[in-house]
Structure 1
């Protein structure tokens, strides 16, 4: 691997010659592959090496063709880099009750799905991505994970600055110079420079300043990067502590994990994942607790400007036409009384009642691209069940005729091909499953089915393996 000379010399300064040589050597090896199963959909263990710092997470002996695993598309697991799963250990240590949380730079969704799996019941998660096309990928992965208490947004960090004291927990997995991605992404090597490191450091501080007021007094902020240098790591953690007002707090770890601490003179409880020591990619993480800095936080001011909120409510009154949601459609969800149902000319959505007030106060101020569960689309007098419903852990499967598919038929369905079914099945909407998990809906019209799998999600490759490559 042809690494930049300046990167080599800078890394030698804080790692030393021996560790630098080991790091360079390991960067020429294949990255380990790891997955994390979805506890809301899959309770079985996996016969692979567990990731020590994260529940339901495993290293795989070899990389599988995940695209051709129906269980992957059903949201039974997520392919995620192991080092980043340390977030699970942080949440289990410091989040003990229901919270409102934010994953600020969330695409493609690995950490968001992890956060939702680790948070206590009754929590609400905002998953945000600034880049528009990446926010669509984020929404897809959130929908597949199946939880209703998530709001996906496409906003800049500055857009969130209007919400004072909204969040109890924030993850800022900030854009960085990407040194920890060198063995997975050749472009990260070609784009590296000292100027880029310093530019990233300043951009990271701007993001943190934008978001800091949204964190409640006593709230937890997790700061992470996938890079090695001190400017974007220890120096920024020290800056957060001194300039924004936070205490850097520690997380209990096992020596067996071989996680490295601070590599500067600052005695900070930070966590470095160096791939020549720890099984995973390069990652840096620090946990900070917000202290009281000013009178407004002491007085516990609301997270919204009250006058502006009233003005927005008035200006948006009557902007959308709503329809009564039929009870028969509400019954497509288990425990439908848990939800508030919204409808307009085209769609029906459900969102947890306990969080609806929060949603109602932010909906006109953020670009929300997904929330809760999209239950159905409306076409004339017909209610067409949505794919979001099929993926939801709240779906009432007893309300639909379910048809279990074999492997070849499951792949054909995921390629959006027409699936033939036995004439004994009733006409209307049917739910296809694979190994008991929903894959999606189709409309049985007798001699054939109309495949309702999302066009943009379909498997495009024409060469699936002969046998099921599933690893769980």
Structure 2
């Protein structure tokens, strides 16, 4: 790999000749392959990532696109070093519910990880400023299956009205990407000292915008995938000087090979992953606490839960009807109490959820966080909140794909049929599949290795494929050798 001369000069001065030579040599090696399991859906043996309970190293790269269990949300393909976020959350999260913001969240690796670690009853707000990336973020969180999530599409400045709102904020800020050089040749080509300058200034603007939204006593996780101190330690020093933040230590094992502070004259704990010392890519993390005591009561919006009446629509595509004067008038489809009762019967612990109606969509949202959702709706552009359960079409209730992916679905709510690998790939391509003659008519949950893959509507001679069109496998060929993960289903 040909590294930029100015990067070589700076990094050699930072690490020293011998260590830089080791770093440079490691960049010519193959990057390790790692995944993080969704413990709510599946388990797999393997070489554990030492700082992440559900992280696994793989001996070889799998054919992820053609693994149905990947599409079912059984695991997430994630770089091992970035799984270190788990240590910050495990060591400093309280036992009671929190409201957490993942500010720069797409494509969703850290959000899905955080959602698995938050205390029961917590809410995760997962944000992405770029709209098409926010859709990818929503897809990955939907597949992960937890209802306590809100996906938003906002610039950091948009959060200004939410002062003292979040207990935890994760800022995996955009950076110069030095730590990804061996995995991403584009990052090497785009690197320059000028880009580093742009990045650290952008990072400071992001922190300045979002810091007021952190509660007194709240935790901010700052991370990058770069090596230089400008974007790492020097920005940490700036946050401390500007906002009076306290940098917090983490308990780590010396066997993990994590490097500490490289900034001369700065005495605070940071955690830097270098690929010649740790089995992973370049990564940097530090943990900061906002001064002041955390409030003893819930924030402004918690506890102010309000039910949404059955005949209220929020968004959606209402139908048109003719008035007596012959003019078109917008009307909202009426959803009956019977339909709501049916949908509620699909849920595990239905009493824990508020059913919210938006146009023709019925969504389940954790009841204890509905007040928080109200505060977010007043301020942010919402992409998705909670778990969409059903689309109402006349008297028909069409179960959503999000319901199939979620951990709120009560077993036995729908007839199920186990399908083969070939059928699973056809389903994920949104092709027609044939079910057994004994399969009941109506909506059927199909499973692969007994993990839910999605819904079809069995009409007898065929089954209508309800997999989301925009998520389908677009490739029309199947590789000669397909390598997929062998897992044990826990659902």
CA contact (8 A) 1:341 1:349 kept: yes
Task: Specify the alignment match of 1:237 in structure 2.
Answer: 236
- CA offsets per residue over residues 161-201 of structure 1, 9 Å max, x none? 21011111110000001111111111111111111111111
**Any stretches of 5+ residues in structure 1 without a counterpart?**
none
- Please state if 1:75 is matched with 2:73: yes
Runs of 4+ in 1 over 2 A off after TM superposition: 297-304, 317-326, 462-468
Q: Provide the C-alpha distance between the structure 1 equivalents of 2:65 and 2:202, rounded to a whole number of angstroms.
A: 35
* C-alpha deviation, 1:385, in angstroms: 0.5
The one of 350, 366, 379 equivalent to 1:352 is 366
How many pairs align?
A: 457
Task: Determine the C-alpha separation between the residues in 1 that align with 2:443 and 2:289.
Answer: 50
- 8 Å CA contact 2:63, 2:483 repeated in 1: no
1:64 corresponds to which of 40, 62, 75: 62
Aligned partners of 1:323 and 1:344 also within 8 Å? no
Q: Determine if contact 1:165/1:303 at 8 Å carries over to the other structure.
A: no
Residue equivalent to 2:19: 19
SS of aligned partner of 1:398? coil
| Cα distance in 2, alignment partners of residues 276 and 374 from structure 1 | 45
Q: 1:301 to 1:111 in 2, by over 3 A?
A: closer
Deviation (angstroms), 1:471: 3.8
- Per-residue CA deviation, residues 321-351 of structure 1 (Å, 9 max, x unaligned), is 5744520111111111111011243211110
**Counterpart in the other structure of 1:204:** 203
Change over 3 Å in CA distance of 1:109–1:445 after alignment to 2 = same
What corresponds to 1:469 in structure 2? 484
Aligned with 1:212: secondary structure? helix
Relative to structure 1, the CA distance from residue 165 to residue 58 in structure 2 (aligned partners, 3 Å threshold; closer, same or farther) is same
Note the alpha carbon deviations across 1:104-123, whole angstroms, 9 max, x for none: 00000000010011111111
How far apart in 1 are the matches of 2:471 and 2:313? 34
Q: Equivalent residue for 1:185?
A: 184
- Of residues 297, 319, 337, the one that matches 2:351 is 337
Matched, 1:431 2:445: yes
Map Cα deviations across residues 436-456 of structure 1 (whole Å, 9 max, x no partner): 111000000100010000011
Q: Distance in 1 between matches of 2:218 and 2:195?
A: 31
Residues 135-154 of structure 1 deviation map (CA, whole Å, 9 limit, x = unaligned): 01100000000000000001
Distance in 1 of aligned mates of 2:398 and 2:376: 28
Aligned match of 2:467 in 453, 464, 468?
453
Shift of 1:319: 6.5
SS at match of 1:202: helix
Work out whether 1:292 is the aligned partner of 2:306: no
1:156 and 2:155 equivalent?
yes
Judged with a 3 Å threshold, the aligned counterparts in structure 2 of structure 1 residues 454 and 253 are, in CA distance, closer, same or farther, namely same
Q: C-alpha root-mean-square deviation of aligned residues, in Å?
A: 2.0
1:260 paired with 2:287, answer no
- Distance in 2 of aligned mates of 1:49 and 1:452: 36
CA drift of 1:318 comes to 7.9
Q: What is aligned with 2:137?
A: 138
Distance 1:445 1:329, change over 3 A: same
Q: 1:91 to 1:445 in 2, by over 3 A?
A: same
Deviations 1:374-428 (A, max 9, x none): 0011222211110000000111231101000111111111111111112211111
Q: Distance in 1 between matches of 2:418 and 2:258?
A: 44
Match of 2:90 in 1: 92
Q: 1:250 to 1:327 in 2, by over 3 A?
A: same
* TM norm structure 1: 0.93
C-alpha distance in 2 between matches for 1:301 and 1:149: 17
Q: In the alignment, which residue of structure 2 is the partner of 1:123?
A: 122
Is the CA contact (8 Å cut-off) linking 1:166 and 1:214 kept in structure 2? yes
Ranges in structure 2 where 5+ consecutive residues have no aligned partner: 316-331
Shift of 1:30: 1.2
Alpha-carbon spacing, 1:303–1:7, altered in 2? closer, same or farther (3 Å):
farther
Partner residue, 1:251:
250
Q: 1:298 to 1:168 in 2, by over 3 A?
A: closer
